Chains A and B, each alone.
Chain A
Amino acid sequence: MTKPVQYMGQGLFYALFAVTIGYFSSFPEYTNLSADETLIKLSFSHAGQLKEACRERTPEEIAQLPMYQRKSTTICPSRERADVVVELEMDGVQLYHVIMKPNGFARSGTSNIYRRIPLKAGVHTLKARLRDHAAGEDFNYVHEETVDLAPGRIMVIDFHAATGGFIFKNKNTSLKKNNIS
């Protein structure tokens, strides 16, 4: 092979190398979310109620305790907490149902959830329900809201029992709200 042909070949190799690097460094593009989709992130950390109710010590029980143990008057038979049950409905159709076990070996920690739920953008009525007790089947926190979700927007469904329950964050527009807790 003559020198000029060799140099041309080397140039071709380097060009091919550059094209390979340059192309696969950015292409083909990846579509993470369709143009008409929006995203709900259901994410919170909540400790369910204790499975067995605590009770006050009787005066006789307190009298039997050493003096330094008498400050605590409540007695709980178990640390175990109830499962937290969450349901999410959109336009009357159930999107999601999950039973979250409490963390920890004694099942005494918080129940955590993080879920991505992609759905079509537009006006939707969302209903979130949560049960954190073991006493029955009723949901003690319910939040219903009609929202206009823009394409690509991430709406976060958070939960804080202290502030009343579910919080819908980063919604485009809230058209109607109904909070039951």
Chain B
Amino acid sequence: MSINNRTSFAHRGLLWVEGALNRVFGNSLNPMYHLGALGFYFFWVVAISGAYIYAFYKTGIELSHPSVEYFTNEQWYLGGIMRSVHRYASDALVLVMFLHLLREYILGRYRGARWFAWVTGVILIWMILTAGINGYWMVWDQLAQFTVVTTVEWFDWLPIFSEPMARTFITYEALNDRFFTLISFAHVTVPLLILFMLWVHIMRISYPVVNPRKRLAIGMLLTLLALSLIVPVQSQGLADMSVEPRVLQIDWFYLWVYPLLGVWSAGQVWALVFGITLLLCVLPWLPARNKQIPVAEVSLKDCSGCGLCVADCPYEAVVMRPRSDGLNFPEEAVVVPDRCVSCGICVGACPSSNPFRGDDQYISGIEMPSLPMSALRAAVTKDLSTLEGDLRVMVFGCDNAANIEVLRSKSIAVLSLPCIAMLPPSLAEYALREGGVDGVLITGCREGDCFHRLGVSWVTERLAAEREPRLRSRVQRERVGECWASSLDNHELAVALNSFRASLSKLPKVR
């Protein structure tokens, strides 16, 4: 069953918002399509601005707050702006991180082989929040005092400390300079660990996008700078251990847990934090509505070891290994089942997925066991043989995009695939030459938003003869249409099909 028949309300809402942003930004600059990359970008903005203000930061009870006040007020034109950018970029990082999490959840991109990125992402959430909270302590203002004391009170609930840590902060005399050395060391160490974890987070995907488009990056930076100039960040008065901070301006992106600790007990908040973390971590293994189809399999005797499947796999699920069957090729493709999401992109990339091959039961070098290429060819042949009338069109679509079944008619045949990049260009050519259709319309997810990350890009490049396997030049390009439409864009797809057929009517008849 295809996902486009079961889109949830949240999914429809997300597609609507992204559609609106597509109209404003264009697909290539849509911020919703770059949430992960924007996260990386804000991390670097935080790191660079932080490195500057860190140079002026002094560690000590008497030194920390004055040093922060110095670069905030005396050097407002650079240090102050850098501090504000540091703070606002940190907030933006949390915002895009949670949007990224929410988006991947709504799209269902956390199950199966994607569990690795999902779970490492959950770990990153807590690491980033920890680094941010740690940063607030360095200012040593009343907000720092409140968050430090509340944190140690919260941790004291755990039965692992012989003496309450909170006693360290009970009076000014109990505190010493080493605390500031510790937190300033942690504020460098934790971000370094975050950077390492970010690398782990993306290590199982091919061609990870870690930089947003230039125009988007500039737009975001200018926004942060403007905000820093209009509302520069200020401290909230020197910490005083003899006075309890009363009313505080809380950064809700990082410090939301503290007001909660004022309402709930420490144990309840621990239960909430552990509960959320546990739920997020087990989410990939909870029962799914749609089972993943069996993963790709290599047919060694049909594999020439060309490596095209490896180049196109978005999940590093196919690797090249030295030949094991004695055939005269240096390497062979091997599927890593734990990483395969059954998208079929490797099948579309395989040169042997060629429907012009003579054998009725031909096998490609790499196949989806539940959707073998010979069966797809047979299905296309059968469907095309039943078409009637003028302007016959074969529509190839994607299970995760617009519903192409509604387009089926006497003169329109359809075939939906797990990802449109499972379509070898030769199958489109086959429909034109052997099936006698007037045109082939290829449709899949919106540009920049392929469910399987790279499918739309690969198909576009294959059709433009910029990527192997290419659509052969003998194919009349005007007879191959493209329309990139999500499950919310069924109407747009129908309009595109009509428009495509109108353009076909101007071409010479094929029959």
User: Do A and B assemble together?
Assistant: yes
Interface positions of A (Cβ within 8 A of B): 1, 6, 9-10, 13-14, 17-18, 20-22, 24-35, 38-39, 41, 43, 45, 103-104, 109-110, 112-114, 116, 152-154, 156, 158, 169-170
* A30 and B248 within 8 A (CB): yes
Hey, which chain A residues are within 8 Å of B23, CB to CB?
Answer: 1, 6, 9
The 8 Å CB contact of B167, one of A28, A43, A116, is A43
A109 to B162, CA, bound (A): 9
Asked whether A112 and B246 contact (CB < 8 A) given A21-B92, A24-B91, the answer is no
Stretch from B186-194, B249-257, B291-299, B493-501 at the A interface: B249-257
A-B interface contact total, Cβ < 8 Å: 122
Quick check: A10 and B219 within 8 Å, CB to CB? yes
Closest residue of A by beta carbon distance from B162: A103
Query: Which of A22, A32, A110, A152 is close to B248, meaning CB atoms less than 8 Å apart?
Result: A32
Is the pair A31, B95 in contact by a Cβ cutoff of 8 Å? no
Q: Is the CB of B25 within 8 A of A10?
A: yes
Which residue of A22, A25, A169 has the most chain B CB atoms within 10 A of its CB atom? Answer: A25
A45 to B31, CA, bound (A): 54
Most chain B Cβ neighbours within 10 Å, of A17, A38, A158:
A17
Q: What are 11 residue pairs bridging A and B, where the CB atoms are less than 8 Å apart in the complex? A: A1-B23, A13-B24, A17-B220, A18-B227, A25-B252, A30-B262, A103-B163, A113-B164, A114-B166, A153-B242, A154-B242
A22 touches B227 (CB 8 A): yes
Across the interface, name the chain B residue whose C-beta is closest to A156: B170
Residue B226 interfacial (CB < 8 Å): yes
Q: Do A43 and B248 touch (CB < 8 A)?
A: no
Residue in B closest to A7 when the chains form the complex, CB atoms: B24
**Sample of 19 further A-B pairs with CB below 8 A, known A18-B223, A18-B226:** A1-B23, A10-B24, A10-B219, A21-B227, A22-B230, A29-B250, A30-B248, A30-B262, A31-B246, A32-B247, A34-B246, A39-B244, A43-B167, A103-B162, A103-B163, A114-B164, A153-B244, A154-B243, A156-B170
B316 within 8 A of A: no
**A31 to B231 CA separation, bound complex (whole angstroms):** 22
Q: How far is the CB of B272 from chain A (nearest CB, A)?
A: 18
Decide if the interface of chain A is mainly helix, strand, loop or mixed: mixed
Chain B interface residue count, CB cutoff 8 Å, equals: 47
* Chain B interface (Cβ < 8 Å from any Cβ of A): 21, 23-26, 31, 87-88, 91-92, 95, 146, 153, 156, 162-164, 166-167, 170-171, 219-220, 222-224, 226-227, 230-231, 233, 241-253, 258-259, 262
User: Of A35, A112, A116, which contacts B162 at CB under 8 A?
Assistant: A112
Whether B88 pairs with A29 at a CB distance below 8 angstroms is no
Q: Once the chains are docked, how many angstroms separate the CA of A104 from the CA of B249?
A: 41
Is the beta-carbon distance between B95 and A114 smaller than 8 angstroms? no
Chain B nearest Cβ from A110, distance in angstroms:
7
Across the interface, which residues of B come within 8 angstroms of A43, CB to CB?
Answer: 164, 166-167, 170
B330 CB → nearest A CB, Å: 50
Q: Is the CB of A29 within 8 A of B253?
A: no
Contact B253 A25 (CB under 8 A): yes
Q: Which residue of B lies closest to A17 (CB)?
A: B223
How far does the alpha carbon of A35 sit from the alpha carbon of B230 in the complex, in Å?
30
Cα–Cα distance between A13 and B30 once the two chains are bound (Å): 11
Among B153, B227, B245, contact of A114 (Cβ-Cβ < 8 Å): B153
A10 CB contacts on chain B under 8 angstroms: 24-25, 219
Q: How far is the CA of A156 from the CA of B247 in the complex (A)?
A: 21
Q: How far is the CB of A131 from chain B (nearest CB, A)?
A: 21
For B87, the chain A residues whose CB sits under 8 A away are 25
Q: How far is the CB of A66 from chain B (nearest CB, A)?
A: 35
Which among B21, B153, B156 is the interface contact of A13 at CB below 8 angstroms? B21
Contact A41 B226 (CB under 8 A): no
Report the bound CA distance from A18 to B220 in whole Å. 9
Residue of A nearest to B172 (CB): A170
Given A9-B24, A22-B231, answer yes or no on A29-B249 (Cβ-Cβ < 8 Å). yes
Contacts of B244 in A (CB 8 A): 32-33, 38-39, 152-154
Known contacts A22-B88, A24-B253, A26-B249, A152 near B163 by CB under 8 Å = no
